[in-house]
Chains A and B, each alone.
Chain A
Amino acid sequence: MKRIITILLAVTISITGLFFTTKLLEPKYMTGILEGAMIGEYYDDPIDHDVVFIGDCELYENISPVYLWENYGINSYIRGSAQQLIWQSYYLAEETIKREHPDMIVFNVLSMKYNEPQNEAYNRMTIDGMKWSKSKVDTINASMTEDEHFIEYLFPILRYHSRWSDLNSDDFKYLFHRDKVSFNGYYMRVDVKEATDVPEGRPLADYQFGENAYYYLDKLTKLCKENDVKLVLVKAPTLYPYWYDEWDKQIVDYADENNLTYINFLEAQDEIGLDWSKDTYDGGLHLNLAGAEKLSKYFGMILSNDMKVPDRRGDEKLAKYWDSVEKRYNAEIKRQTDNLEKFGNVHGDTED
């Protein structure tokens, strides 16, 4: 009996120790690179979204769900992450449908250009935040680069053990909780860096999207059809990475064949009213707050007028939730604007 207690005690202490160490060593993404925290914070929010945007930065930096709520009563969320690859989008969609069954999924098509796993760090930023499910297992298997091992996702300490020398106060402060970094998935920037001289895309040897990319686009289409979720394909209006006409044609054809809506916002820049000297914070790669709100205004109109996404502003519980998001949203605008005035950058870094 005593022996069993000893063994149980030893096992408990061992596992607890491992758990704490893992928590401590995991990157927190609370300052600097916030993108790594975005996938994880989805799970804390109330669900029943009508629209879920799934994709890369062309969504999470360019569309503001807060604006959509305030002006159209659209209850939406962006499940976005840095360089989200299409299979990752697919499995996020699978998970989202299982979890909350939205009416509509909006997918940004830029990631069709990637046919193979790309970058380990971005994989981690997209996948680590996901809760364990079959979708997570599948997305890991689909995403791993050559140097990666499944076990390193299962036991993140195997991946992040060498962070021991990088530990800082954030790692202790955020040991068990995280602050919100996004506004229903939106990553805000208020600063401006105008787009000048955006180069034409260099000619490519082959414009055909890869087989693997198509495989997952097909899967996504099928998944949405089977679950009675409306799938909308979009291409954000940002200037770079360059969106080739040859690529656009393939998506147009695909949407036709599969009876999907495809909106290329690049073609609607004037109607949106984008001003590339004011509406981007990094020279045309991403929109800033002003740009994102313009795009949201335009897209919101389509969503609520043409696609009949309901206005849910009457729902008290939801309104209360959104109220809290709006407060954070406005506080962040103020913080960034103040920092911009004081330090010349939104982060409040004194070095820049």
Chain B
Amino acid sequence: MLFTSYEFLLFLLVVFIMYYLLPGRAQWSFLLLASYAFYFMCDPRYLIFIMVTTVTTFFAAKKISDKKESFDAWFKEHKKEYEKEERKALKAKEHSAEKKIFLACLLFNLGILAVTKYTNFTIANINSILNTFGRPDGISFVDLIIPMGISFYTFQSMGYLIDVFNGKFKAQDNLFKFALFVSFFPQLVQGPISRYADLSQTLYEEHKFDWRTVSFGLERILWGFFKKLVIADRILVVVQAIIADPDTYNGFYAFAGAMFYALELYADFTGGIDITIGVAETMGIKVTENFIRPYFSKNIKEYWNRWHITMGTWFTDYIFYPISASQFMMKLSKKSRARLGNNLGKRVPVYLSSFIVWFTTGIWHGASWNFIVWGLGNFVVIMISQELEPFYRWFHSKVHVDGTFGWRLFQVIRTVLIMSSLRMFDCYRDVPLTFKMFGSIFADSCLAQLTPAAFTGMGITGFDYAVVFIGMLILVAVSLIQRSGSVRVKIANCAAPVRFIIWYSLFMATLIFGAYGIGYSASQFIYNQF
């Protein structure tokens, strides 16, 4: 069930009305029911996967949490009876017992994710290796279903498990409450990857109908639909046309394609998240923000703190830190500092961990080499900018441009260009083609390509480009206003007629200029022979 379908809107309406009609203490149970119904309507087979993850994670976390609690209570009482070394040993023993449960659950669930998502990718790679050794027959692919949102809910559950294991909070006692945390329907399709500590604060509470909260939520949903339907889905046609025919659309077109894709992806992804957060908000539930105007970032590192934030922090907290702070890395750090000097030496473990994180991030996005190379591309860019830090420091001490508008603009454009170039891996069929098309931007671009006819031949008309352009201006304007605080609060402070005009215009603009439905072309209605 897509967000942009009549079915979803109807589903939302029913859920919303029921949610506020029910007594407050039944609200969360109803949400669980609604979430499972949502998942069921997408594909009943998915349910078993999410249930397995929910149940295993719930019981593992519960067991760990209970063990921790009883050990701590016991330890507090008896610790005076033991010597320091004995105490250490007792703690270590307890820790390793918990670790066994933790690892079993973690590996089991990551295993499900790996098998469903990466089996065929692994087979393809094995086959190509076999092929180079003259064994062209290879292994046949398996027909596996990939449950919708599995990457998201698995990560969300594992984050919870890790936090419980680390003693950040006590495990949830109620299986059904935990099941809701894993399956909460607005974020099932595309995240954000919520943390239990954040989401649980409002997820299970009773919520009374509050016009301000609900109207804010609805506004956010509408804004999401505007971004998705008016901008993203309209320009998507052009992006697809360009990447589908790399021979024709090379040079400047490839560049335009990358730029259009930057816009499309931003509008689509943030629009979807706006819908998610908005839907939750109408029910009084607070979902973590996933984007903070990412294209306005000074550099790529900052960009990754502002784009798909919940994914970034997940990888940082649960992969980057555990690896980089591990005993092995600490030892490596010592060694490399001894060998390479303090300055360079201390960066070796950081880069090594970072490399692993970006490799994982890449493959998490999709089972293909394109994504792996894309992830590693991000790693290279970040590493280079890290290494250039002293140079920048020197540069800024000589040339005083830092903080000026021109320099900020340069940084923003640089961010957009670098990210768009990397994202070409997301567009083209395979890695070599992507490199070829990137090269062609510099080799084949010429002014002759810049004809209006070429662009209107990509499936949309001049009118459509105008709509996209105006939509983009609105997007930029809203982002600029947002820097000084919530746009919705600002709108709420306006006089009623102004508020009405803004809401109604946004609604009508989405309704009329949205690229949804069958679409009208007079030629369909040409009467031919009947």
Contact = CB atoms under 8 A, between A and B. Distances in A.
A33 B209 CA distance: 51
B463 to A, nearest CB: 4
Interface string B494-530: 0010001000100010011111111110101111011
Contacts of A122: 530
Nearest to B504: A14
B482 interface: no
A157 interface: yes
A267 B513 CA distance: 53
Contacts of B514: 161
Contacts of B524: 120-121
A160 B513 CA distance: 11
B4 interface: no
A162 B517 contact: yes
Contact of A166 (B504, B508, B522): B522
A82 B525 CA distance: 10
Nearest to B513: A164
B527 A35 contact: yes
A60 B511 CA distance: 36
Counting chain B CB atoms within 10 Å of each CB, the highest count among A13, A122, A160, A165 belongs to A165
A302 interface: no
A116 B529 CA distance: 18
B527 A21 contact: no
Given A21-B512, A164-B512, A33 B500 contact: no
B504 A17 contact: yes
Q: Is the interface of A mostly helix, strand, loop or mixed?
A: helix
Contact of B512 (A33, A82, A159, A161): A161
Nearest to B7: A149
Interface in A226-285: 240-241, 285
B512 A148 contact: no
Contacts of B518: 120, 147-148, 159
Place the interface of chain B in its size category.
Answer: 20 to 34
B530 A21 contact: no
B520 A159 contact: yes
Nearest to A36: B525
A27 B523 CA distance: 12
A162 B504 contact: no
B463 A33 contact: no
A205 interface: no
A8 B112 CA distance: 54
Counting chain A CB atoms within 10 Å of each CB, the highest count among B512, B513, B515, B522 belongs to B512
Contact of B530 (A18, A56, A152): A56
A158 interface: yes
Contacts of A160: 520
A214 to B, nearest CB: 20
B388 to A, nearest CB: 48
B342 interface: no
A6 interface: yes
B529 A241 contact: yes
Nearest to B10: A151
B6 interface: yes
A171 to B, nearest CB: 12
10 contacts: A27-B522, A32-B522, A36-B525, A82-B530, A121-B524, A122-B530, A124-B525, A157-B511, A162-B515, A165-B463
